[in-house]
């Protein structure tokens, strides 16, 4: 079973996305922010990280920068989960707009985890 670390400061988005992924057969660990996620990554290695781009405190780009700077974490694929319409190109493996639904999300995740 593939594991996904889901990082989002929006509790409702975290819960809904987590349910979608769990019903699709993925094991999901949730973090409500960047600092919490980096703490989790000290003991767990997910197969994929779904990362909210805009969060208070440590935002998505700061989390991604920390991941890419760590030899043990830099190869974990990262998909941004964002409400922004603009293109983001800072080393993430893709973008899953929050405006897209469950099917889009599961397709993007499946494409990375094949």
Domain boundaries, the chain: 3-113
Handedness of CA 35, 38, 43, 47 (dihedral sign): positive
H/E run at residue 29: strand 27-31
CB atoms within 10 A of CB 24: 15
Per-residue pLDDT 10s for the chain (114 aa) are 999 999 999 999 999 999 999 999 999 999 999 999 999 999 999 999 999 999 999 999 999 999 999 999 999 999 999 887 656 667 889 889 988 999 999 999 999 998
pLDDT of residue 33: 96
Give, in words, the CATH class of 3-113: alpha beta
């Amino acid at each position: 079973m593939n594991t996904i670390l889901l990082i989002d400061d929006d509790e409702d988005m975290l819960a809904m996305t987590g349910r979608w992924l769990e019903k699709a057969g993925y094991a999901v660990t949730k973090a409500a922010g960047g600092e919490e996620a980096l703490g989790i990554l000290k003991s767990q290695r997910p197969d994929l990280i779904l990362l909210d781009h805009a969060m208070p405190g440590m935002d998505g780009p700061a989390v991604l920068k920390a991941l890419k700077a760590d030899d043990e974490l830099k190869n974990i694929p990262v998909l941004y989960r964002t409400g922004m319409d603009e293109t983001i190109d800072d080393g993430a493996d893709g973008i899953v707009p929050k405006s897209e639904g469950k099917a889009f999300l599961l397709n993007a995740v499946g494409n990375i985890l094949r």
